[in-house]
Amino acid sequence: NQDNTNLSTTTNAQTDIITVTEVKVNVSMPEAAPKAAATGADGVGLLRTEHMMLTDGVHPKKFIVDDNEDELVKILVENIIKVVDLFHPKPVWYRTLDAPTDEFITLKGGENEPHEHNPMLGWRGIRRELDEPDILRAEFKAVKTLLDKGYDNIGVMLPLVQHPNELKHAKEIATEVGLVPHKDVDFGIMVEIPAAAITIEDFIDVGLDFISFGTNDLTQYSLAVDRNNELVAAHYNEEHPAIMKLIKYAIKKCNAAGVKTSICGQAGSVPHIVEKLVEFGITSVSANTDAVEAVRKTVARAEQKLILNAARASLNNDDDDLFD
Ligand code: PEP
Ligand code: MG
């Protein structure tokens, strides 16, 4: 009983640059989606939900406390549909809620939020959503509603995953609400904690369609540099060799297993970093709207260089020597 009548197909400005590595765009709020789609990006590599859930100043938990889950699901559907419709049939990866406790405190219904000394190392992302699964359940129900409407271009991305059991648990909750991970919906994790990059094979064993590097957090956790602390801002280096090594390693393991790879942190909008990621074999990058064009050109150049080098290497191996 699918209702496909309102599905639209992407008609935004197309580009004459074709890349094998997909170039996607990050979207933080539905209102920004038309501009993002106009770049001709190959999809949305990060759809943030924080603005959809928090902008009206109400703590999402309040819907649950008030026994009004349906309203939360409705708000999510109304917001997400604007993006999946605009981009259809290109994929949109919806990231589940990831806000630190200090961002919840000022909201209506946020009076009981705990005060944490270091919210960035605290109760956020998937760890919180699994402790309080009502909101995660509402998010999955919203995704299921969109699938039932025929939007087959939506994927689910879990933030701040640190252990394969978190992925396993989240998939169980998805299944409970009728979502079928890997079959009717792509399921992936953000790699933004070094532990996840180092043990990526264990996540692949649980079952993954894609990963996306959240380099904003991966940088702060790899280097022990609070991303919001100006005193240590000079030490915040997304190109630190340790981070490049983690990314290269995880891409290699994912490529071997047929798992898609992407990046949605700010580093994905920096052309010379993107060039390295293409050399590592990343299968897509997701940039800010205003960086998509430059990133696309960088990706195309990096791919040409790889192809030319491979062709030259094979010519040099040719033993058809004139003087043999
Ligand atoms: C990241 O950590 O790189 C990321 C994209 O997520 P956020 O900036 O929302 O933490
Ligand atoms: Mg992050």
Chain centroid, CA 176 distance in Å:
23
Nearby residues for ligand 2 (ion, Cβ within 5 Å): 192, 214, 217
Pick the atom of ligand 1 nearest to 218's CA: 2
pLDDT at 5 over 60: no
Question: Which of 24, 158, 192 has the most ligand 1 atoms within 8 A of CB, as the residue to mutate?
Answer: 192
CA-nearest residue, atom 4 of ligand 1: 214
Which residues fall within 8 angstroms of residue 187, CB to CB, at 6 or more apart?
A: 155, 156, 171, 174, 181, 207, 208, 209
Q: Which two tokens stand for residue 318?
A: 């040719």
CA-nearest residue, atom 8 of ligand 1: 216
Q: What is the pLDDT of residue 2?
A: 40
The CA 219 to ligand 2 mean position distance, Å, reads 10
The CA 182 to ligand 1 mean position distance, Å, reads 24
Question: Model confidence over 152-211: pLDDT tens digits?
Answer: 999 999 999 999 999 999 999 999 999 999 999 999 999 999 999 999 999 999 999 999
- Which residues does a 6 A CB cutoff place in the pocket of ligand 1? 46, 98, 192, 214-217, 264-265
Q: What is the pLDDT of residue 14?
A: 57
Q: Which two tokens stand for residue 239?
A: 């190109």
Pick the atom of ligand 1 nearest to 267's CA: 3
pLDDT at 135 over 90: yes
Quote the Cα angle for 32-215-266, to 5°: 40
Q: Which two tokens stand for residue 305?
A: 């260089």
The CA 159 to ligand 2 mean position distance, Å, reads 7
| Cis geometry, peptide bond prior to residue 89 (ω within 30 degrees of 0) | yes
Question: Model confidence over 72-122: pLDDT tens digits?
Answer: 999 999 999 999 999 999 999 999 999 899 888 888 888 889 999 999 999
CB-count exposure of residue 2 (10 Å: 0-12, 13-18, 19+):
exposed
Pick the atom of ligand 1 nearest to 216's CA: 3
CA-nearest residue, atom 1 of ligand 1: 214
Question: Model confidence over 290-309: pLDDT tens digits?
Answer: 999 999 999 999 999 999 99
Question: Model confidence over 249-291: pLDDT tens digits?
Answer: 999 999 999 999 999 999 999 999 999 999 999 999 999 999 9
End-to-end CA distance of the chain: 70
Radius of gyration of the chain (CA): 21
Q: What is the pLDDT of residue 18?
A: 87
SS3 154: strand
pLDDT at 7 over 80: no
Q: Tell me the mean pLDDT in the region 210-230.
A: 97
pLDDT at 124 over 70: yes
Give all strands of the β-sheet with 284-287 in edge-to-edge order.
260-263, 210-213, 186-191, 154-158, 92-95, 44-47, 22-27, 284-287
As a whole-number percent, the residues of the chain with pLDDT over 90 amount to 83
Pick the atom of ligand 1 nearest to 50's CA: 9
pLDDT at 55 over 80: no
Question: Which of 49, 160, 213, 217 has the most ligand 1 atoms within 8 A of CB, as the residue to mutate?
Answer: 217
Higher local confidence (pLDDT), 51 or 44: 44
